[in-house]
Amino acid sequence: MNYHFFVGNDNGNSEHDLIVDGKLIQQPNVNCTVDELPWSEEQAPESFIKNLQEQLVVTVDSPAARPGMYYIGKFALESGELLDNLQIGIDLKSDMDLPIVNTLAQIAAVAVQKAYEEEKKVPVSIDLEVDMATALPVTQHTDETSAKFEKRFTSGTHHVTVHLGTHRVAVKIVFPFTKVVPEATPVIFTLQKDADGNWREGDIFKEFAETYEMGAKFSGTYFKDKRILHVDIGDGSTEYPITDGNKFLRQFVHGSHHGVGYAIEEALDEFNRLIHLPDSPRQFFSDVIKNPKHKYHARALKTLKRPLESQVRQIVQNVKKQLTKARNEIDLICVYGGGSILMRSMLYAHLEELCSEREMQLLYIPSEYAVKLNAMGLDAFVRGKIYEVLKNKAVQPA
């Protein structure tokens, strides 16, 4: 089997959101190294296909990462094994094995699902060629780090064995070209166009259009010439890039080590004490927060309130700093990212006040889009003309 995939890959500190061949995958961005398969009894390999992302076990042999067998994402989180995750504020993504291993695993899993869907049988091997756009935090993104991160994907062939019970599927992945951009900047593509390349419309803009009385026919064409201050709130960092139309303004690169992850780390000891656990990982707390039906949800929220307020105050200060630097020459502030959902009840009012006193608009992205906006932007970028031009230039040097 031979396939070619487009991949928009947002390797977040807490969550891995990627669009592989048009399919959105959202998983905790963790893995763990193991010595043996978790299954001993014979299970039909077909039974793994549908929920493969939830029970993903791979063996990776790649020039870019330590070889070994890994549990990936949700399966790793629920395994009780020692987890590898991105240390917020410490790890440089371009140096880490985790984003490489998890990216290869998720791409391989989608390939196995696609082959099964088309052939109605479990494949033995798959050859995969991948065009990918991914991102680094604006504070970590330099020509050097982006080239290094790109090279980890593009130099050599990656061999991934996907384990369907005791059955193995060999997936060979090559990346002829990969582009690493600063995080938050691909979002400008998502705000303007949908996946089919038409001007974006719909509920993503509903609140914004109502607030500023834009009328029912509002579309993404509105953003094509706007100067936007992005506030991309993640787990371990918040990025504050400024874009002008489709241009990323290098002189305003700014990011800060603030985000939900810091509030969670501060709340974690108290939370563990309340639920009588000696310790639990940050991602477990995140899952409890996201699930209102979880028996510990109320306790998690209670311990998170004060640390979260402190993070919100810091983010507002950083927004003010960027506005000062840009002499308030900003048309609108656009807020998104996983952290924006939890912070909304506290942050919205602060930013709304800022915007009205400085004559700007506030686009606070609704929760159902907030997390996947970067992945959607990267997917639009990898399929677009700019990527094609960059790829042709790289593949045929002058």
Question: Mean pLDDT across the stretch 308-318?
Answer: 96
The pLDDT of residue 86 is 75
Instruction: Report the CATH number at residue 360.
Output: 3.30.420.40
| H helix runs in 169-232, sequence order | 187-192, 206-211
Classify residue 154: in a domain, yes or no. Answer: yes
Could you tell me the pLDDT band of residue 139, with boundaries at 50, 70 and 90? confident
Q: pLDDT digits over 240-260, tens only? A: 999 999 888 888 888 888 988
Same domain, 142 and 236: no
- Reported as half-sphere exposure (CB side, CA atoms, 13 A), residue 377 has a value of 26
Q: How far apart are alpha carbons 339 and 347 in whole angstroms?
A: 11
Does the residue 380 lie in any domain? no
- Over residues 47-61, the pLDDT tens digits come to 999 999 999 999 999
Percent of the chain whose predicted confidence (pLDDT) is above 90: 73
The pLDDT of 308-324, averaged and rounded, is 97
Neighbour tally for 114: CB within 10 Å: 19
pLDDT band at 290 (very low <50, low <70, confident <90, very high): confident
Q: Does one domain contain both 196 and 146? A: no
Residue 329 banded pLDDT, cuts 50, 70, 90: very high
Whether the predicted pLDDT of 90 surpasses 70: no
Instruction: Evaluate if residue 356 carries a pLDDT over 60.
Output: yes
DSSP state of 55: G
Q: At what angle do helices 385-395 and 373-382 cross, to 10 degrees?
A: 50
Task: Transcribe 137-178 into DSSP letters.
Answer: -TTT--HHHHHHHHHHHHSS-EEEEEEETTEEEEEEEEEEEE
Based on the fold, state whether residues 97 and 239 are members of the same structural domain: no
Model confidence at 33: pLDDT above 80 = yes
Strands in the chain per DSSP E: 2-11, 15-20, 23-28, 31-34, 57-61, 68-72, 125-136, 158-164, 167-182, 227-233, 238-239, 242-244, 247-248, 255-256, 332-336, 361-364
Pair of tokens at residue 162: 């996907």
Percent pLDDT > 70 in the chain is 98
The structure tokens listed for 92 are: 């440089």
CA distance 17 to 10: 5
pLDDT in tens, 92-109: 888 899 999 999 999 999
- Residue 335 pairs in a beta bridge with 231, 364
Domain's final residue, options 135, 160, 181: 181
Query: What is the DSSP secondary-structure string of 357-389?
Result: HTT-EEEE--HHHHTTHHHHHHHHHHTSHHHHH
Task: Give me the pLDDT at residue 41, please.
Answer: 80
Question: Looking at residues 386-394, what average pLDDT do you find?
Answer: 92
Q: How much is the pLDDT for 199?
A: 92
pLDDT of residue 91: 67
pTM over 0.85, yes/no: yes
Residues in Cβ contact with 372 at an 8 Å cutoff, skipping those fewer than 6 apart: 10, 17, 24, 26
- Taking the CA atoms of residue 315, residue 320, residue 322 and residue 325 in that order, the dihedral angle to the nearest 10 degrees is -160
| 166 and 218 both lie in a single domain | no
Tell whether 17 is covered by a domain: yes
Q: How far apart are CA 139 and CA 173, in angstroms?
A: 30
The answer to whether residue 398 sits within a structural domain is no
Nearest 5°: the CA angle 335, 259, 367 is: 40
Q: How many domains does the chain fold into? A: 2
What is the model's pLDDT at position 195?
78
Q: Is the pLDDT score of 267 beyond 90?
A: yes
Residues 332 and 280 in one domain: yes
The answer on 192 and 145 residing in a single domain is no
158 and 99 part of one domain: yes
φ and ψ at 102, to 5 degrees? -65, -35
Per-residue pLDDT band for 88 (boundaries 50, 70, 90) equals low
Asked whether the predicted pLDDT for residue 220 surpasses 80, the reply is yes
Q: What is the pLDDT of residue 89?
A: 59
Write out pLDDT tens, residues 221-238. Answer: 999 999 999 999 987 789
Does 61 fall in a domain? yes
Same structural domain, 223 and 147: no
Please give the Cα distance from 36 to 70 (Å, whole number): 9
Give one word for 266, left, alpha or beta, with left for phi > 0 and alpha for psi -120 to 50.
alpha
Range of the domain at 72: 2-181
Average pLDDT, the chain: 92
Q: Tens digits of per-residue pLDDT, 146-188?
A: 999 999 999 999 999 999 999 999 999 999 999 999 887 889 9
